[in-house]
Amino acid sequence: MDSPDREDRRWSEAESPEQFRVFEAEGGGCRVEFGRKMLESIRFECSRAMNGVGGLGIGGVLLGTQAGSSYRVFDWRAIPCDHSRGPAFLMSRRDLAGVASFLEGVRSEAEARQWKIIGWFASHPGGGLSLSAEERELQSRFFPASGMVLVVHPDRMGDAECAVFQAAEEGAGVKFHVEPLPIQKREHGERRARVHAAAAVAASPDGRGGPGAGRPTRRKIRRIGYAAAAALCGAIGLWMWAAGRPAPPVLAALPPAPPIEMLSLHAGPRGGRFVIEWNGQAQAIRFASQVSLLIRDGDRESEVPLSRQDAVAGLQFFRPQSGLVRVTLRLEGARGQRFEEETEYRAEAAPEAAAVPLQGEVIAPAGAANPVAPASPAVAATPITGPGAEAKSAPAGESKTVPAGRGRKKRPARKSRRH
């Protein structure tokens, strides 16, 4: 048991006698003294847990001094509870496994302040000020036999009904009602005295700033609430302002660029003419804005633009004048995209000179014994002709010109001879 002088010294280190609330049982016996701020913190935390999500119950370890049936409470520490068994303060197996090590740490902290564990408290958000069987078992298992148990029943308005039990006695020894502390009103022009944080820590006996240091004050909590409300109002105003503005004009989407594909460009003799052909139905041709042919015939080079009709037809005729012809098909899209495909033709033998213009029928040379063979490549000195011009071979020794687009004459039917 502690001496009165030692208790008074600890009392003066924590709070002055005017800052304590004293509760006694009728007829004497049990006497409990709580620091006003400490009791307010218990009431506030119990009320906040009950009014929060789920209506939870909480518990805590009471630290202070004890002299027989008189208890003086200076501070408290919350007991961890995962509420896996429900919203009430019911300890699970995992919680009970860690209580012993938790109390050991709290006991070391209390001894550094010349205090000790004098009991614990539990809140009953569902009502009632009596101890349950589990709470009595928890008291007998982890807390001193001469300790006290504080039961707190908070209500929705912030008040709390409290009852103090002594482990050795049945029934509540002290019952009392706790209301929130009133807000202290200051005179006009009076400002709260501000103490530098370093000075407050140095003034505390353990160098930690005293009981309850580091906890958020009500003023800080209100400031945080005001800031959150202002941010929410600003967000709502911004949304309403944005909703009232006219919608920006929607730009028409440009057609997608045509896919890149092979045009199957080919150049070579066919049917007595030198033919340049490609796939005119390819999408690259259909989407192209400009189409042209670049022809390199030996040392000569010429580029011929094609109309859309010629580009889609996919066929052009050419009269080469050398044995090496390179043809490049160039495409240009509406957005400036460029695509080229190139082919090359090499003649095996030297080509014969051609004396017939490209327009009209291809004429065999005079005195030739055979019809005109497929044209060999020669120098491109003549223009390109379209597929409308047709070529017709003449018998050897004859020359005959048939205008383009004119059909072949029908032969009269032979008369059958009857025997």
Q: pLDDT value at position 119? A: 92
Q: Is the domain of 147 the same as that of 10? A: yes
Q: For residues 268 and 274, is the Cβ–Cβ distance under 8 A?
A: yes
Q: Is the domain of 166 the same as that of 262? A: no
Q: Is the domain of 176 the same as that of 41? A: yes
192 domain-assigned: no
Q: For residues 66 and 207, is the Cβ–Cβ distance under 8 A?
A: no
Q: Cα–Cα distance between 265 and 254 in angstroms, integer?
A: 29
Tell me the mean pLDDT per 10 residues along the chain, length 419: 42 53 82 90 92 89 90 93 91 91 92 92 89 89 89 89 80 82 68 52 48 62 88 89 72 57 81 86 83 88 88 86 88 83 79 44 42 42 46 40 44 52
Q: pLDDT value at position 413? A: 52
Q: pLDDT value at position 184? A: 67
Q: For residues 387 and 404, is the Cβ–Cβ distance under 8 A?
A: no
411 domain-assigned: no
233 domain-assigned: no
Domain containing residue 287: CATH number = 2.60.40.10
Q: pLDDT value at position 216? A: 60
216 domain-assigned: no
347 domain-assigned: yes
170: containing domain: 4-181+198-203
412 domain-assigned: no
229 domain-assigned: no
Domain containing residue 47: CATH number = 3.40.140.10
The first and second tokens of residue 259, run together, are 């896919």
Q: Is the domain of 164 the same as that of 41? A: yes
413 domain-assigned: no
Q: Is the domain of 156 the same as that of 53? A: yes
Q: pLDDT value at position 264? A: 85
What pTM value is reported for the model?
0.42
The first and second tokens of residue 369, run together, are 């014994």
Number of domains in the chain: 2
Q: Is the domain of 121 the same as that of 27? A: yes
Q: Is the domain of 28 the same as that of 149? A: yes
Burial group, residue 179, by CB count within 10 angstroms (0-12, 13-18, 19+): exposed
